[in-house]
Chains A and B, each alone.
Chain A
């Protein structure tokens, strides 16, 4: 069989802009995908790091009467907490984080900053040991807030979800922009090759056959775009991520990248088909 090739109606060179566009857009898609995988990895790191941690925030004001404490009161509270933590068997170490106090502008009043105590807990601790520790500290120093693993999980997951939605939205935007540009490109080619299309139509090609020719016309540049995007991502972005010590599952990422780009190509092919058949809908 000798099928009609797209080069018979459209010169292959005129498809170069599609190769450039698709390559660029697929790199952007790959970048978003890397972002998603990076967030996943970072989230897991954060969660594992906070797994056996409890953060105590020694407040700089009295919780009940909302009165600002002075530095001496804050230090006393901290000493009490330290003393307690030294004797609690589930505590392995503590890390105290103090922040600089800044005087208020145009005021003699200096409000001390809260103090954070990061408590590293025993891995094999009994159930409720954490609750007991928090209750005891609250009894000792009422002006305390606690950030438990559950709080951390909630915050980290919230941040991760926001970032994932952002990257997902970006991918969607990339697909939409590509689709719009592709539609314009196809319409332009339909217009500039009006005579050729008329001739093909008169020879017995219906709009779906002409659309199939346009699909062939866009397929090769899309594949070129796919190859170039894979080369760029694997040679630039992935090493960059590894350098900043983000451990992504390279195999899973490669599969996801391939699936994303194949989906990208499939969508471009569908857009091409729909655009051509829609534009030629008035042909008898």
Chain B
């Protein structure tokens, strides 16, 4: 019988993941982190203590059986590990890459009290990638029910909700306004963090569950939410359209050519493949010196994309200090390694005109940190007389988004004072049978939070339709067994 593992007996250091060298990867769109080999995965799986209180499971917004899947990796049963993972999370290859594990499962890992925590995200990705390579898909036998569920938006919230409703036997259709499904996973997150093939594979898995995707469909305008219920015969609707509507800085020079939102830069580059112009028809502004305003994950993506598009210099301009930067530490670190120049405590005051309607520079002031503001972060205050200029031909705003107005314009849905869709605790909207979740309810957040919202809405929809839900049967307890706020998930603004 195997001896009980302790922090003394397990491999002491976290198994590093092979990565492309910073100088090399900063010029290509291949994935930065290359993934674990089976040997790496076995070594890392051995670091899990299988502790009885399983804090990691409570730290996961969707409650993945983490010790369970790691145990199966250690037993060299990868198919079993995949089955365990996909019981709760249909998108392991995505989540393994883009979840902020340091604030979730890994942040509360018992091993992490003494050593570096178990690399749960890397192991999850290893299993997810193995499944894609092997063509595994878990298609449980589902007893069809007579309900039709319409899902608006094919991003992480919509995909998670679709998966759960399909598993409950419903006939599920997902509507997407773009010509390809995936939402922010497709247009926003660059290939070097989440390759398109991974998204394709996860979407194909949903297809095997019977989920139908209808692209080129702008719900609200082609048909309304009310029409989905009244005319198109949907018994329930889930809205997960994301926040959209990027904020601009409202400083002089905002509308100059060479000033654009991170959403535009990323959409052109990722979804429209502008990086392969002219093979693809969509162009992208070529910046020699690029200033990205903001320090969230989207800002980091915009900077690293700019480097790969051939920029000589990329600056990060952020009015607070590194401590307050909303991006994942790992993303800041990657950007630094690749040569992004960080200018903390720096606030833009004007984009400078080259005389022909294009940006030639960014005028900034130095900031200092004052008293904490409403967000609990210290309020940045301008230092008088500290103006200085950056020479730049491309300015990218990554300072957050506001609510997209289309749903409000086209339906009777109740909105909150900031224009987001108002829901109750069960994610039900003001219209019967219509539920909403993700960024269009909370404002900009993370992929895993959106997936969490999609799953929460799925449970509410099942209750609404009177379907049995094994996960909630017999208890009206908190849906995930965790309080999201406790785990630092309250941040919604990145500015």
**Do A and B form a real pair?**
no
